[in-house]
Amino acid sequence: MLTLLGIVLLIHILVPSSAHPEDLFLVKAGRFFQPLSAETATQEFPIAPELVELGRALFFDPRLSFDGTVSCSRCHQPSLYGTDALPKSVGVENRPNPRNAPTILNAALQFSLHWYGDRTSVEDQAAKSFLGPASFGNPDFASVKAKIKAVTGYEEMFAKAFPSEKDPVTQQNCGKAIGAYERTLLTPSPFDSYLRGDTKSLSAVAVAGLTEFLEVGCVSCHGGIALGGGEFRKFGILRDYWELTGSSEVDKGRFNVTNDPADLYVFKVPGLRNVSMTPPYFHDGSVATLPQAIRLMADLQIGKKLSEQQVHSMVHFLDALTGKLPAGYAVPPTLPPGGFQAR
Ligand code: HEC
Ligand code: HEC
């Protein structure tokens, strides 16, 4: 068996002595994370320009809601990096949502969607969203269809996006178009440049934060291309989360979907790209600042109390996950004209 000394010697033999310590660290980071790649289309869910154009219009269009006031972009605003900055979202007729709105940026990279992971893809999520009582509030898809048909221009856009279909205005196709649009909403960050070998793209303090993130063990849940979004985990492994977050209501997590006691307080691990831009934090929006979210995570999930210096450097690392807003999202489209039909 190799002793630690043996491994150190082996590394010295295998790695040329000219290798920079920074490069070695980069190799280590590359084992846990992958840089963003431009390709998020799948065979089942292609990204065609006509689909994306339609999806973008539907995303920003409030005329598709029960009372004409709510679009996807109300709770997933460009200026707030795809969130609404509220602890919990508010939908039609000021109906409260039970949970915080996560960002839609890079959302397509995750293995499932929603805090409970009860949506299989961005397409599935978008199609169902139109009937959400606390979001769009439509009673059925027939009423959404009537609203779409009342807007001059949508029918032509649907025909272009689904050329082989006779009656393409369906709930599933709305989901497909919006999903294709969401698959284009990726935000390459300085950390991606770093992972690709440009070690100068992270400041020294951000690299120190990355080291902490690996050594403290955050990476065991927040790794991969999205720094999370790949599994379900209990929130509050070492003690109950509401003791520390001060949450007034206790959310049973995936238990509400599966009824399995093993899923009590289990949530999808969120991806951390752009996390600096998307307060407040956690499924209930109970924590207002990133340093506090980091401290609580270490305490609740790992059982460690972090020093202020550790927290400070991790904030700098997480800042380096902020990318530029995609052009097709930063500026809302001009919507096709047409009248809003009352309920
Ligand atoms: C009234 C506010 C509101 C509206 C309108 C709304 N959302 Fe959301 N969105 C939320 C909330 C809240 C969640 C979290 C739901 C949960 O997990 O319980 C969410 C979750 C999501 C997610 C999952 C993100 C993740 O990381 O799991 C996506 C994607 C998304 N919404 C896209 C959309 C699209 C597309 C539309 C329009 C068809 C839309 N939303 C309309 C509030 C809203
Ligand atoms: C055992 C798995 C696990 C570990 C380890 C872990 N996390 Fe988390 N993290 C989660 C889960 C699950 C959530 C979602 C909790 C919720 O709101 O229900 C989360 C949420 C977060 C959030 C809030 C994101 C948002 O958009 O609301 C941040 C920030 C975060 N983690 C950072 C960290 C940091 C920093 C560390 C290391 C100190 C860490 N996490 C360690 C599982 C983990």
Q: What is the pLDDT of residues 129-170, one digit of tens each?
A: 999 999 999 999 999 999 999 998 999 999 999 999 999 999
**Sole residue written with tokens 């509030």:** 137
Q: Which CATH code is given to the segment(s) 20-37+188-319?
A: 1.10.760.10
Measure the CA angle with vertex 93, ends 90 and 97; round to 5°: 30
**Of 181-185, 215-219, 334-338, where does mean pLDDT reach its minimum?**
334-338
Ligand 1 center to 40 CA (angstroms): 19
Q: In this structure, which residue's CA is closest to atom 38 in ligand 2?
A: 298
Question: Are 20-37+188-319 and 49-186 equal in CATH topology?
Answer: yes
Domain ranges of the chain: 20-37+188-319, 49-186
Pocket probe mutation, ligand 2, options 269, 273, 311, 319, max atoms within 8 Å of Cβ: 269
d(CA 333, CA 54): 10
Torsion 287-126-179-90 (CA) sign:
negative
Helix (H, G, I), strand (E, B) or coil at 138: coil
pLDDT one-digit tens code per residue, 191-204 = 999 999 999 999 99
| AA letter at 327 | A
Tokens in use for 292? 């506090």
Q: What are phi and psi of 267, to 5 degrees?
A: -130, 165
Q: In this structure, which residue's CA is closest to atom 5 in ligand 2?
A: 218
Q: Which CATH code is given to the segment(s) 49-186?
A: 1.10.760.10
d(CA 64, CA 151): 10
pLDDT one-digit tens code per residue, 53-75 = 999 999 999 999 999 999 999 99
Pocket probe mutation, ligand 2, options 84, 221, 281, max atoms within 8 Å of Cβ: 221
Index of the ligand 2 atom closest to the CA of residue 285: 27
pTM: 0.93
Ligand (nearest to CA of 109):
1
